[in-house]
Amino acid sequence: MIGTTRQAAAPARAAERARLALGRYRLVRHALGAAAALVALYALTSAVSPYRDLQIAQAAYLTCAVAGLTVLTGLGGQISLGHGAFMAVGAYTTALLLNHRSWPLAAVLAAAVVVTAAAGTAVGAVAARLHGPYLAGATLAFAVGLPGLANYEPLLDLLGGQNGLSVTPPVPPAALGETFPVERWQAWIACLGAVLTLFLLANLVRGRFGRTLRATRDDEIAAALHGVRVARVRIIATVVSAACAGLAGGLLAVATTLAAPGAFPLALSLQLIAAIIIGGLGSLAGAVWGALVLVFVPAWASDLAQSADLSHNIASNLPLALYGLVLIVVTLVFPRGIQGGLRAARTALARRRSPRDDAAHEEAAPHDTAARDTAVHGGDS
Amino acid sequence: MVRFVNLTLAGITSGMVFATVALALVLIWRSTRIVNFAQGGMLMVTTFLAWTVVDAGGSYWVALAAALASGLVLGAVIERVVIRPVEDKPPLNAVIVTLGLFVLLQAGAGMVWGDTPHSYPPAFGIRGLSVGGTRLLLSPNDLFVIGAVGAVMIALTVLFVRTDLGLRLRAAAFAPEIARLLGVRVGRMLTLGWALAALVGSLAGVLIAPSVFVGPTQFDAVLVFGFTAAVIGGLDSPVGAVVGGLLLGCALSYVSGYLSSDLVTLGALAALIAVLLVRPNGLFGATTGRRV
């Protein structure tokens, strides 16, 4: 018994060293990935119509919110039904600052992130004490209650009531030419925000913080016994997640040129939850898939309803029905979502290509579990 | 003073409805450890069925019976078809499935009945009763609401405490393995538990319908307040659900009466957080030790 353990230790140490070496270049790898994504998005947004550009902007800001939520719920195990409300905080902060101060857009968005993070600290401090359904209840009340503030009499002048605050659309720099569409500029801003968010989150969850966060999810008491301050880790996760949602809200205000209570219904928070599940819980790549599904499935459904000449009632509810159906089917049949399905397909393909490696795979498996665990929950960025 | 009494009376009436929704959630939580977010959608669909009966010329009581019967069937069907597969999976899966159901039911109701809310007749008059010359915010219909909810609570207590079926239901919820060994059909009991909960929920839907109207999203607030009431009470306790419902009903009535009706949901949040900060498992929830 002891002999085999010693023998196994040498390759394990080598694997450990390789992983450390890779880790050193992680930052570089993620930066390269982000740069590649920016180039691809530049090519994509330049090739499509302004309408598609707006859809891309929408997918980009939803990606920010979904990625933040997947870190909190997927890696931290803390459910939040209140992320729509965080987006509202970010959107209103952005709208107020843009309308009343002549700050540059980047500073305004940064301020929106800071304000939302502050709100996240308050919510996180409460949420860290709560579990499961109690947490869901508290965040649900938060999601439903907060947008009501906009209609509160004393704040009516400041927040604009039911009509909300309109935002002047951002002006593309003159260097881009007279005919440069505003929608493309909005898409660029939103995409830059999304790529930046994913880059930062990818580094965060692959590092020490991600590991302790997963530890608090998997076994709270064992983590606490190992010196992890569970409450603090959870509050930080909530703050990070809220900050992402705040940026998403700010980008929403810029892309739709409006911040109104109607943009943040309970359905938005539920859609964000739906997106992290459909994409693959805990995976940042899954967050992108989830955001794409949120934007393009309803668009596709309403196109379908129009071409099939359905009645108004059916056509207007078809996207919602599809969400519900997809949520149930994905949870029952593919609990790991799109990203999990893709990964399984890739593994199956690799296996088929080199059947002889199978034995080696099986043998290496025990040392690999830690790495694989990160892969399953952490995802590729 | 009259204003305070009136607000309290209004709070008790709405609190009784919240308590009913909370009770439906607690019944399901106790038997399957699932928070049924679909409850809002389920009671919305049964209330729409009742509205269809009323719209076709049926009486209030026939409509109520239709709602209760359809609730019973809907609860059983949902448990068998979509909940059974996630019962032994991580809790998040069940949450997502019920959220998905909620969205699906909402969309389905919109497809069938349209998105415009419809009015729903109350059972009795809604003019406030006068006592000694002052008109109170308590109408015969409010008394009916309070009476109906009270009757349901008594019936449930009798069912769970006094009958053999109730004993089996409780056994299946608390110790499914042992209950199964002793010959209780646990699966059947869980289905029955969901059916009962849906029945209670459908009663709440019909009772609140005259004041919120009948539409696909009209019952969202009822679900949120019912859930809040259940959490305040501690999800495990039916008594807690009733107390939580009444507390929340009164608190919201005061917020709406003394501050602003736009702050009602925020008031619910404040009440919830105030209770959870002191007792993270609700007022009547048992503080459970967790095993390493």
Provide the CB-side half-sphere exposure for A337 (13 A, CA): 29
pLDDT of A271 over the 80 cut: yes
Beta-strand runs (E) in chain A:
165-166, 258-259
pLDDT at A369: 38
* Model confidence band, residue B82 (pLDDT cutoffs 50, 70, 90): confident
**Mean pLDDT, residues A201-230:** 88
Render pLDDT for A299-353 as a digit per residue (tens, 0 to 9).
888 888 778 777 777 877 888 888 888 888 888 888 788 888 888 888 888 888 7
Candidate from A277, A325, A331 with C-beta closest to B104: A325
Residue B281 at interface with chain A, using a CB cutoff of 8 Å: yes
> Coil, strand, or helix at residue A239?
helix
Test mutation, A139, A320, A329, A330, chain B, max B CBs within 10 A:
A320
Cross-strand partners of B214: B118
Query: CA of B79, closest CA in chain A: separation in Å?
Result: 13
The helix (H) or strand (E) run that includes residue A278 is helix A266-279
* φ and ψ at residue B214, rounded to 5 degrees: -110, 115
Distance between CA atoms of residues A135 and A129, nearest Å: 9
Which residues of A fall within a CB distance of 8 Å from B266?
A: 145-146, 148-149
Which residues of A fall within a CB distance of 8 Å from B269?
A: 138, 141-142, 144-146
Please tell me which residue of chain A has the smallest CA distance to B291: A221
Query: CA of A371, closest CA in chain B: separation in Å?
Result: 22
pLDDT at B245: 92
Whether the CB-CB separation of A82 and A139 falls below 8 Å is answered with: yes
The residues near A148 (Cβ < 8 Å, ≥ 6 apart) are A261, B262, B263, B264, B265, B266
Render pLDDT for B224-281 as a digit per residue (tens, 0 to 9).
899 889 888 888 888 888 999 999 999 989 988 888 777 888 888 888 888 888 887 7
Test mutation, A327, A329, A377, chain B, max B CBs within 10 A:
A327
The residues near A70 (Cβ < 8 Å, ≥ 6 apart) are A276, A279, A281, A282, A283, A284, A286, A287, A290
pLDDT of A7 over the 70 cut: no
Which residues of A fall within a CB distance of 8 Å from B265?
A: 141, 144-145, 148
Assigned CATH class of B2-125+135-278: mainly alpha
Please tell me which residue of chain A has the smallest CA distance to B283: A134
Lookup: tokens for A369: 């579990």
pLDDT at A365: 40
* Model confidence band, residue B72 (pLDDT cutoffs 50, 70, 90): very high
Which residues of A fall within a CB distance of 8 Å from B290?
A: 220-221
Beta-carbon separation of A137 and B228 below 8 A: yes
CA dist B243 to A345, B25, B235, B240, B253, Å? 52, 14, 12, 5, 15
Test mutation, B33, B118, B269, chain A, max A CBs within 10 A:
B269
Which residues of B fall within a CB distance of 8 Å from A277?
A: 96
Query: CA of B154, closest CA in chain A: separation in Å?
Result: 27
Whether the CB-CB separation of A309 and A69 falls below 8 Å is answered with: no
Candidate from B93, B108, B273 with C-beta closest to A126: B273
Render pLDDT for A191-206 as a digit per residue (tens, 0 to 9).
999 999 999 999 888 8
Please spell the DSSP secondary structure of B194-246, one letter per residue.
HHHHHHHHHHHHHHHHHHH-B-TTTTHHHHHHHHHHHHHH-TT-HHHHHHHHH
* φ and ψ at residue B127, rounded to 5 degrees: -80, 130
Distance between CA atoms of residues B245 and A313, nearest Å: 35
Beta-carbon separation of A221 and B290 below 8 A: yes
Q: For chain B, how far is it from start to end, CA to CA, in angstroms?
A: 54
* φ and ψ at residue B78, rounded to 5 degrees: -60, -40
Chain B from 43 to 102: CB within 8 A of any A CB? 82, 85-86, 89, 91-93, 95-97, 99-102
Beta-carbon separation of B100 and A326 below 8 A: yes
Beta-carbon separation of A148 and B273 below 8 A: no
Lookup: tokens for B212: 């919120």
Query: CA of B280, closest CA in chain A: separation in Å?
Result: 6
Burial letters A292-329, b for 16+ CB under 10 A, else e = bbbbeebeebeeebeeeebeebbbbbbbbbbbbbbbbe
pLDDT at B124: 80
Candidate from B97, B99, B110 with C-beta closest to A317: B110
Candidate from A136, A313, A320 with C-beta closest to B114: A313
Using alpha carbons, select from B223, B166, B239, B274 the residue that is nearest to residue B43: B223
Candidate from A148, A151, A327 with C-beta closest to B96: A327
Distance between CA atoms of residues A330 and B72, nearest Å: 27
Mean confidence (pLDDT) of chain A: 81
Domain ranges in chain B?
2-125+135-278
Report ipTM for this prediction.
0.80
Distance between CA atoms of residues A155 and A151, nearest Å: 7
Beta-carbon separation of A141 and B228 below 8 A: yes
User: Where is mean pLDDT largest: A305-309, B47-51, B90-94, B158-162?
Assistant: B47-51
Beta-carbon separation of B227 and A220 below 8 A: no
Residue length of chain A: 381
pLDDT at B290: 53
Candidate from A126, A129, A273 with C-beta closest to B96: A273
Which residues of B fall within a CB distance of 8 Å from A225?
A: 292
Q: Residue type at A15?
A: A
pLDDT of A236 over the 60 cut: yes
**Mean pLDDT, residues B202-217:** 88
Q: Using CB atoms within 10 A of its CB, is residue A215 exposed (0-12), middle (13-18) or buried (19+)?
A: middle
Residue B131 at interface with chain A, using a CB cutoff of 8 Å: no
Mean confidence (pLDDT) of chain B: 86
Candidate from A318, A324, A335 with C-beta closest to B103: A324
Distance between CA atoms of residues A264 and A231, nearest Å: 28
pTM score: 0.81
Q: Using CB atoms within 10 A of its CB, is residue A231 exposed (0-12), middle (13-18) or buried (19+)?
A: middle
Beta-carbon contacts below 8 Å between A and B: 160
CA dist A332 to A329, A337, A378, B42, Å? 5, 10, 22, 20
Residue length of chain B: 292
Q: How many CB atoms lie within 10 A of CB A122?
A: 15
pLDDT at A123: 86
pLDDT of A3 over the 50 cut: no
* Model confidence band, residue B212 (pLDDT cutoffs 50, 70, 90): confident
* Model confidence band, residue B170 (pLDDT cutoffs 50, 70, 90): confident
Pairing of strands A165-166, A258-259: antiparallel
Please tell me which residue of chain B has the smallest CA distance to A267: B103
CA dist B151 to A10, A266, B40, Å? 72, 33, 22
Residue appearing with tokens 């500073």:
A107
pLDDT of B90 over the 70 cut: yes
pLDDT at A355: 60
Candidate from B82, B101, B268 with C-beta closest to A145: B268
CA dist B276 to A131, A136, A248, B267, B270, Å? 11, 12, 29, 14, 10
Please tell me which residue of chain B has the smallest CA distance to A314: B111
Beta-carbon separation of B92 and A281 below 8 A: yes
Distance between CA atoms of residues B274 and B267, nearest Å: 10
Beta-carbon separation of A134 and B235 below 8 A: yes
Beta-carbon separation of A325 and B272 below 8 A: no
Candidate from B93, B101, B112 with C-beta closest to A335: B93
Chain B from 222 to 261: CB within 8 A of any A CB? 224, 227-228, 230-231, 235, 260
